[in-house]
Structure 1
Amino acid sequence: MSGAILVCGTHSDAGKSAVVTGICRMLAREGVGVAPFKGQNMALNSFVTREGAEIGRSQAAQAAAARAEPEAAMNPVLLKPSGGGGSQVVVRGRPRTMATARSYQDMKRELMPVVLDSLEDLRSRFDVVVCEGAGSPAEINLRSADITNMGLAREARLPVLLVGDIDRGGVFASLYGTLALLSGRDQSLLSGFLVNRFRGDPSVLAPGLDKITALTGRPVLGTLPHAPALPQVDGEDSLALDSPSVVKPPAGRDYLSVAVARLGRISNFTDYDALAHEPGVSVRFTGSGEELLWADLAILPGTKATVEDLALLRRSGMARAFTERAARGMPTLGVCGGYQMLGRRIRDGVESGEPETEGLGLLPVETVFEEEKLLSRPGGWAVGFGRDGKDAPDPVSAYEIRHGRVRVGGGEPLFVTDDGEKGKEVEEGCRLGNTLGTSWHGVLECDGFRRALLRRVAAERGLDWKPGEEPFAAARERRFDVLADLVSEHVDREALVRLIEGGPTPGLPVISSRLSESGDPSEVEAGAG
């Protein structure tokens, strides 16, 4: 098998990321060398590859599903919205510049060769590349400079599979309308539909599927069932925070409640997925100070706008909740930007331009922002968090993405690691009583540390809580396999393979509309939106 396909959605959160993940795992299980690709991603949920490149966390998860090592080529352009209405533009894993919505439209023309080169690089090394679009391909105000939907499909001659979410309603109008808003040339690339999140009697849906095929000349390759018990795999935007968290029955008598502060520019929120993996642990993202105050564990997460979100924390009353928790000795964890907020002061001449901002003062640390972003994959040991009550500290592995450099002036370290060059132990993070902070992302995915932390929280709260036994990595693998099973069982594999290997279906009819008849929107200058 050899080729590529682009999976687009009628709107954000239609399920295209899950479909790409499922296809990648299905093909990987068959022995196909497969890689994910997203030319341009806008997300604050990112990951650091082994070579120190920053890419979207969703593409890292898809690479894991494909059983491939994540790399910069899988997401050559990453936009990270920051305070003040701008976004940091990360190109091939490295920050390039800051851009506004309008100025970025002008940048796209010079970024298209980067996107195409990255795709061609992957295609030269993998049998199949499964590409993911962004937003909707029918965003006509952005089509003139598009580099990730139909613009990419046209340049690379990719067949397009359009995913629609029937659970939201109006799926047939969404599929037909998306196609009709495309130019004739773009329509020639859209070769099939996929209906996602269906619940009900398939026989009732069948006439609609037949009708949409008759109206458009495009087949429906499958209907994926609604799977409410399946957690989302590394969602890439804050829409994922609105999905209800599944709480497993407790192994002991009691549940543990975890409240995560919902910040305006919250980043890397999938850090906390591993907490909900444990039995009896409820994880909720909230802007309520009261919920944060009374939770068994409160978390101040990372953010792409530390100073701006610190102001939000104070305006909303969430800051008072964290201060009160510290005064009462209640367990609190700050991660990356949240760790910086828990400190005494922040000097930020990079993101906000504020020369100095007073922090919450709950940890003896100060943060100074530097222009160069720190991207690495550190590891070490969790001091004082021995496995099952033993003295030996638990190992942790992590990744870090930050401009802030944290200086610790007291307390105890949370982690220690070896500095190979200097041959000495290096300390990371800070803990003062039951207030903890770290710059490292991903540490909660480390089974030993996560369970030791939660056992300590339960002991502090006087709760009979017990951890589970299944590794978090095994649960992730199971989710990948469930997605692959859904694709295998409910998608026409032969039709999918024909698109991957043969490219866009020739001779597809054009759905007439004023737009399709009046010219090609890719050849007309459009607004930035």
Structure 2
Amino acid sequence: MTGRRRGGGLLVAGTTSDAGKSVVTAGICRWLVRQGVRTAPFKGQNMSLNSFVTRDGAEIGRAQAMQAQAARVEPTALMNPVLLKPGGDRSSQVVLMGRPVGEMSARGYHGGRQEALLGTVVECLEELRSTYDAVICEGAGSPAEINLRRTDIVNMGVARAGRLPVLVVGDIDRGGVFASFFGTTALLSAEDQGLVAGYLVNKFRGDVSLLEPGLDMLRRLTGRRTYGVLPYASGLGIDEEDGLRVSLRGTVRESAVTPPVGEEVLRIAVCAVPLMSNFTDVDALAAEPGVVVRFADRPEELADADLVIVPGTRGTVRALDWLRKRGLAAELVRRAAEGRPVLGICGGFQMLGEHIEDAVESRAGSVTGLGLLPVRVRFAAGKTLARPAGTALGEPVEGYEIHHGVAEVLGGEPFITAVAGGGPEGCRVGEVWGTHWHGSLESDGFRRQFLRRVASATGRRFVPAPDTSFGALREEQLDRLGDLVEEHADTDALMRLIERGAPTDLPFVPPGAPPAPGDLGAPV
């Protein structure tokens, strides 16, 4: 703690998971920093398989790293002190202040450990508030999950501890947004309700004037205003929180820019393995004009792909078994024998090897890999967390590492050479490639060279665009989020809320049935 004046703050909660909290938080961060307000994001507890490594080697949720980019600050562990990485339906790896501290069942975590972490979460929040003018916090799920309220450290628990005003986001595209706003508020205690300042409608399609009568009625029902109605905007689902909650099968990601006339499309299939982690690795490929990325779980969906990617996963051995049972493993072996490109990233790289010794993640012991790369993998108790840089295909490349598996490369060629401060990384045999580095495809020069190699191997007349900058596209997305907030929210009222906190005269909303519309009276 530095003793500076305490900065303002806001908690962005949601009526449900995937209501848009992450992108709304990022949009508010980008809007604030464009006003000259020093801003930081924060999420006390995150459950996600999409994670990132900070410059000092701490693992945090990738959504918070994206929000830090929106705020134009370097991400740190303070911004996401507790990260839960699911290993199945009932257990998760607990990452505390960027370092793994063990596996825990959901019952054990909510039975005492979570409550004990509230002090750490609040300390991180207060340290950020002592450094920045504003801290925009993201909630998780819904604050009305009353079965978890006693041990909550991410929604109303942190709002109460930090005296943060709460803005509740609802996804109107799903329907039922008014009931969700009212029910979320009414289920909270009087003390919690005293911090719920109002609502933000997300993903609205159509004429806002048609929505206004409902917003007026909602205000009469709850005594709380709506701070804005954000229109539906495609292409803004950047750095999704959780691969377990996102159904990826059949999902197509492709650039909005068409390839030049006469050039062919390059088709990429991503194996939708269980417990997929960091599936955002393929976003840079999808940003290329003429590249179509599809997530697939059947062997016939790989047949016409020019490149198949086996992505990272929190369950390498489980995913390997899934590939075999689904028939995808046989298709990968057939592709490799035909000289057709295959890329394995992190856990996918490990599966492409000859042998896996796992006494840590699955505790399965010795497992035979797919045998496409001369690599043997041993799972270590400690986790590798790093932000390496090097050279691949003659181009500079950067990435980040998050893995327990240690690879012994017994042949082939390195995937990445001239690694700063270390030896070569990964492995390549023919057109089968493997690396532990997430994010390597975000390096523009390397990505273009790699796609040229894929096109050459498959005989496609595909030429990567010479000027696609993934970093610039990401900045454009973040600016679009900031524009949505600036153009469609009451930013003056939002700024007052961040600076001054929740209004002191917010009424209590009882959980009983609301009065009939004719009995609502005048607006509050």
- Smaller-chain TM-score range? over 0.9
- Is 1:328 the equivalent of 2:338? yes
Other-structure match for 2:169 = 163
Conserved in 2, the CA contact under 8 Å of 1:24 and 1:130?
yes
State the Cα RMSD in Å: 1.5
Q: How many Å separate the matches in 1 of 2:183 and 2:88?
A: 34
Q: 2:317 aligns with which of 304, 307, 311?
A: 307
**Partner in structure 2 of residue 479 of structure 1:** 477
Q: 1:108 to 1:307 in 2, by over 3 A?
A: same
1:269 aligns with 2:274: no
Aligned match of 1:245: 253
Which of 83, 106, 131 is the equivalent residue of 1:101? 106
Give the total of aligned pairs.
Answer: 502
Q: Distance in 2 between matches of 1:325 and 1:244?
A: 22
What is the SS of the residue equivalent to 1:245?
A: strand
Preserved CA contact (<8 Å) 2:252 2:295? no
Residue deviations 1:459-500 (CA, integer Å, cap 9, x gap): 122111121213110000000000000000000011111111
Matched, 1:279 2:289: yes
Mapped contact 1:5–1:500 kept (Cα < 8 A):
yes
SS of the equivalent of 1:428 reads coil
* CA 244–165 in structure 1, closer or farther in 2 if over 3 Å, else same: farther
1: distance between equivalents of 2:468 and 2:252?
A: 22
Aligned in 2, Cα 1:322/1:441: closer, same or farther, shift over 3 Å?
A: same
How many Å apart are 1:125 and its aligned residue?
0.7
Residues 1:366 and 2:364 aligned together: no
Aligned to 1:141, the other structure's residue is in SS state helix
What displacement does 1:232 show? 1.5
The runs of 5 or more residues in structure 2 that have no matched partner are 1-5, 514-524
Aligned pairs for 1:19-418 within 5 A: 19-83=24-88, 85-105=90-110, 106-228=112-234, 230-238=235-243, 239-240=245-246, 242=248, 244-247=252-255, 248-251=257-260, 252-382=262-392, 385=393, 393-418=394-419
Q: 1:84 to 1:8 in 2, by over 3 A?
A: closer
Question: Quick check: 1:231–1:246 contact (8 Å CA) kept in 2?
Answer: no
Corresponding residue for residue 17 of structure 1: 22
CA distance in 1, matches of 2:418, 2:176: 53
Cα deviation digits, residues 132-151 of structure 1 (max 9, x gap): 00011111111110000011
Instruction: Write the deviation string for residues 299-350 of structure 1: whole angstroms up to 9, x where unpaired.
Output: 0000011111111111111111211111111100000000000001110111
8 A contact 1:398–1:440 mirrored in 2: yes
> In the alignment, what sits opposite 2:486?
488
Query: What is the CA distance between 1:204 and its match in structure 2?
Result: 1.0
CA distance, structure 1, for counterparts of residue 397 and residue 420 of structure 2: 15
Where 1:426 maps in the other structure, the secondary structure is coil
Cα distance per residue 1:405-439 (max 9 Å; x no partner): 0000111001113454xxxx611010001000001
Q: CA deviation at 1:37?
A: 0.2
Q: Give the match for residue 455 of structure 2.
A: 458
**Equivalent position amino acid for 1:340 in 2:** Q
Provide structure 1 residue ranges, at least 5 long, that are not aligned to the other structure: 386-392, 516-529
The structure-2 alpha-carbon separation of the partners of 1:23 and 1:419, relative to structure 1 and needing over 3 Å to count, comes to: closer
Residues 165 and 498, structure 2, Cα contact 8 Å, conserved in 1: yes
Q: Which residue identity lines up with residue 205 of structure 2 in the other structure?
A: R
Q: Which amino acid letter does the alignment assign opposite residue 330 of structure 1?
A: R
Looking at structure 1, the residues matched to 455 and 79 of structure 2 have their Cα atoms a distance apart, in angstroms, of 41
What CA distance in whole angstroms lies between the structure 2 residues aligned with 1:455 and 1:291?
Answer: 22
Residue pair 2:400, 2:437 contacting (<8 A) in 1 also = yes
The answer to whether the 8 A contact 1:267-1:301 is kept is: yes
| TM-score normalized by the length of structure 1 | 0.93
**After TM superposition, where is structure 1 displaced by more than 6 Å over at least 4 residues in a row?**
none
Change (3 A) 1:83 1:195: closer
Residue pair 1:232, 1:240 contacting (<8 A) in 2 also: no
How many angstroms does 1:65 deviate by? Answer: 0.7
> Shift of the alpha carbon at 1:85?
3.1
> Which secondary structure does the structure 2 equivalent of 1:285 belong to?
strand
**Alpha-carbon contact 1:241-1:285 (below 8 Å) kept:** no
Distance 1:480 1:241, change over 3 A: farther
Which residue in the other structure is 1:522 paired with?
none
CA distance in 2, matches of 1:205, 1:100: 43
The alpha carbon displacement at 1:231 in A equals 3.4
Secondary structure (helix, strand or coil) at the match of 1:504 reads coil
> Closer, same or farther in 2 for the Cα pair 1:179/1:288, shift >3 Å?
same
Matched, 1:436 2:433: yes
CA contact (8 A) 1:83 1:308 kept: no
1:155 shift after superposition: 1.0
Q: Which has the higher contact order (CA 8 A, sep 6+)?
A: 1
Letter in 2 for 1:12: S
Q: Give matches, 1:1-12, under 5 Å.
A: 2-12=7-17
Q: Is the 8 A contact 1:293 1:322 kept in 2?
A: no
Residue 25 of structure 1 aligns with an amino acid whose one-letter code is R
Aligned partners of 2:460 and 2:199: how far apart in 1?
50
